[in-house]
């Protein structure tokens, strides 16, 4: 299996992170669906938007492998 691009993951997180697109890209479907639903259903509340923003920042810092355990390059 081809390794995913870490740069693509980070850029997706920065620009489309609220919709969980970066997690769909890396194969973390469950986490991505939760982010998407939180943003669509409760994103209008300030606290949920802040929580999702913090979650995105933590994803950028901590996630270095895809859902299959393959190191991103």
Q: Which residue ranges make up each domain of the chain? A: 6-61
Tokens of 54: 């913090």
Whether the model clears a pTM of 0.85, i.e. scores above it, the answer is: yes
> Partners of 65 in the beta sheet?
71
**Under 8 Å CB-to-CB from 17, ≥6 apart: which residues?**
35, 52, 56, 59
Cα 45 to Cα 9: distance, rounded to the nearest angstrom:
26
Residue 1, pLDDT score? 78
Residue 49, pLDDT score? 92
pLDDT tens for each residue of 3-52? 999 999 999 999 999 999 999 999 999 999 999 999 999 999 999 999 99
Residue 53, pLDDT score? 96
Residue 70, pLDDT score? 97
């Amino acid at each position: 299996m081809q390794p995913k691009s870490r740069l693509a993951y980070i850029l997706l997180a920065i620009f489309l992170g609220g919709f969980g697109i970066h997690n769909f890209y890396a194969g973390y479907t469950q986490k991505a669906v939760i982010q998407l639903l939180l943003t669509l259903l409760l994103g209008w509340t300030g606290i949920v938007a802040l929580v999702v923003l913090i979650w995105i920042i933590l994803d950028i810092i901590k996630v270095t492998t895809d859902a299959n355990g393959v190191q991103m390059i």
